[in-house]
Amino acid sequence: MHIYSEQETALKKSVALLKEAQQLTHIGNWEIDLDTEACLWSDEMYRIFGVSRKTYSPHFQKTLEHLVPEDRTWVEEVFQRSFHEGGNFQIYFRIERPSGEVREVHCIGNTDLNVPDVMRRAFGTIQDVTEQKRTQDALRDNERKFRALIENGGDIISIHDADGVMNYQSPSLKRWLGYEAEEVLGLPVGKFIHADYQEILHINYQAILAHPHTPVTFETAFRHKEGSWEYFECTGTNLLDDPTIGGIVFNARNITERKQVEEQLRHNALFDPLTSLSNRARLLDHLEHHLSFKLRHPESSYAVLFLDLDRFKVVNDSLGHHVGDLLLHHVARRLEQCVRTSDIVSRLGGDEFVVLMTDTHDLAEAISVADRILHDLARPFEVEGHEIFTSASIGVVLDEPVTSTPRYTNALSVLRDADAAMYRAKSSGKSRYEIFNEEIHAEALAQHHLENMLRKAVNLAQKGTTEFFLLHQPIVSLQTERIVGFESLVRWQQPERGLIPPNDFIPVAEETGLILPLGNWILAEACQHMRDWKLNCQSEELECLDFTLSINISGRQLSADHFAVQLATVLQETGLDPAALKIEITESALVENGEKALLALHECRKLGVKISLDDFGTGYSSLSYLHRFPIDLLKIDRSFINRLVQDADGLAIVSAIINLASSLNIEVVAEGVETREQQERLTELGCQYGQGYLWSRPIDKEASWALLVDSLCR
Residue 220 binds which entry of Mg ion, ligand C2E, none, CB below 5-8 Å type-dependent? none
Q: Which residues pair with 475 in a beta bridge?
A: 485
Least distance (Å) from ligand C2E to the CB of residue 558? 10
Q: Which is nearer to Mg ion, 406 or 485 (CB)?
A: 485
The reply to whether 238 sits near ligand C2E by the rule CB under 6 A is: no
Question: Is residue 621 left, alpha or beta, with left meaning phi > 0 and alpha meaning psi from -120 to 50?
Answer: left
Q: Which is nearer to ligand C2E, 393 or 552 (CB)?
A: 552
| Span of 155-163, 245-253, 393-401, 666-674 interacting with ligand C2E by CB under 6 A | 666-674
Among the listed residues 473, 678, 688, 704, the single contact to ligand C2E using CB under 6 A: 473
The reply to whether 522 sits near ligand C2E by the rule CB under 6 A is: yes
| Nearby residues of 236 by Cβ (< 8 Å), 6 or more positions away | 160, 204, 205, 208, 215, 216, 217, 218, 248, 249, 250, 251
Residue 631 binds which entry of ligand C2E, Mg ion, none, CB below 5-8 Å type-dependent? none
Q: How many residues bind ligand C2E (CB under 6 A)?
A: 24
Of 386, 398, 397, 389, nearest in space to 431 by CA: 389
| Span of 186-194, 242-250, 291-299, 485-493 interacting with ligand C2E by CB under 6 A | 485-493
Least distance (Å) from ligand C2E to the CB of residue 701? 14
Among the listed residues 272, 351, 417, 614, the single contact to Mg ion using CB under 5 A: 614
Neighbours of 416 (CB within 10 A): 17
Helix (H) or strand (E) holding 199: helix 195-210
| Nearby residues of 574 by Cβ (< 8 Å), 6 or more positions away | 524, 527, 528, 530, 531
Residues 318-347 that bind Mg ion (CB under 5 A): none
Binding-site string for ligand C2E from residue 673 to residue 692, where x marks contact by CB under 6 A and - marks none: xx----------------xx
| Span of 191-199, 289-297, 439-447, 670-678 interacting with ligand C2E by CB under 6 A | 670-678
- The string of DSSP letters for 351-367 reads TEEEEEEES---HHHHH
Residues 545-574 that bind ligand C2E (CB under 6 A): 552-554
Least distance (Å) from ligand C2E to the CB of residue 612? 9
Among the listed residues 584, 682, 687, 691, the single contact to Mg ion using CB under 5 A: 584
The reply to whether 28 sits near ligand C2E by the rule CB under 6 A is: no
Of 609, 629, 605, 604, nearest in space to 619 by CA: 629
State phi, psi for 104 to the nearest 5 degrees.
Answer: -100, 130
Least distance (Å) from Mg ion to the CB of residue 585? 9
The reply to whether 469 sits near ligand C2E by the rule CB under 6 A is: no
Q: How many residues bind Mg ion (CB under 5 A)?
A: 5
CA quadruple 89, 91, 97, 103: dihedral, nearest 10:
140
| Span of 24-32, 112-120, 512-520, 551-559 interacting with Mg ion by CB under 5 A | 551-559
| Span of 89-97, 231-239, 410-418, 496-504 interacting with ligand C2E by CB under 6 A | 496-504
Least distance (Å) from ligand C2E to the CB of residue 489? 4
State phi, psi for 181 to the nearest 5 degrees.
Answer: -55, -40
| Nearby residues of 329 by Cβ (< 8 Å), 6 or more positions away | 274, 275
Q: Are 336 and 449 in contact (CB under 8 A)?
A: no
What is the C-alpha end-to-end distance of the chain, expressed in Å? 173
Among the listed residues 614, 633, 640, 657, the single contact to ligand C2E using CB under 6 A: 614
Q: Are 436 and 420 in contact (CB under 8 A)?
A: yes
The reply to whether 587 sits near ligand C2E by the rule CB under 6 A is: no
State phi, psi for 325 to the nearest 5 degrees.
Answer: -60, -45
The reply to whether 587 sits near Mg ion by the rule CB under 5 A is: no
- DSSP letter, residue 292: H
What is the C-alpha to C-alpha distance for residues 284 and 231, in angstroms, rounded to an integer? 31
Task: Name residue 252's amino acid.
Answer: A
Q: Which is nearer to ligand C2E, 324 or 619 (CB)?
A: 619
Binding-site string for ligand C2E from residue 625 to residue 644, where x marks contact by CB under 6 A and - marks none: -------------x------
Residue 188 binds which entry of Mg ion, ligand C2E, none, CB below 5-8 Å type-dependent? none
Of 642, 589, 595, 639, nearest in space to 611 by CA: 589
> For helices 312-319 and 587-607, what crossing angle results, to 10°?
50
Q: Which is nearer to ligand C2E, 420 or 489 (CB)?
A: 489
Of 331, 157, 319, nearest in space to 254 by CA: 157
Q: Which is nearer to Mg ion, 332 or 523 (CB)?
A: 523
Q: Are 583 and 621 in contact (CB under 8 A)?
A: no
What is the C-alpha to C-alpha distance for residues 553 and 101, in angstroms, rounded to an integer? 102
Residues 480-509 that bind Mg ion (CB under 5 A): none
Among the listed residues 22, 251, 393, 552, the single contact to Mg ion using CB under 5 A: 552
What is the C-alpha to C-alpha distance for residues 696 and 704, in angstroms, rounded to an integer? 10
Q: Which is nearer to ligand C2E, 461 or 673 (CB)?
A: 673
Residue 508 binds which entry of ligand C2E, Mg ion, none, CB below 5-8 Å type-dependent? none
Residue 394 binds which entry of Mg ion, ligand C2E, none, CB below 5-8 Å type-dependent? none
Least distance (Å) from Mg ion to the CB of residue 584? 4
β-pair type (548-552, 483-494): parallel
Which residue ranges make up the site for Mg ion (CB under 5 A)?
A: 552, 584, 614-615, 671
Which residue ranges make up the site for ligand C2E (CB under 6 A)?
A: 473, 488-490, 501-503, 506, 522, 552-554, 584, 614-615, 638, 671-674, 691-693, 698
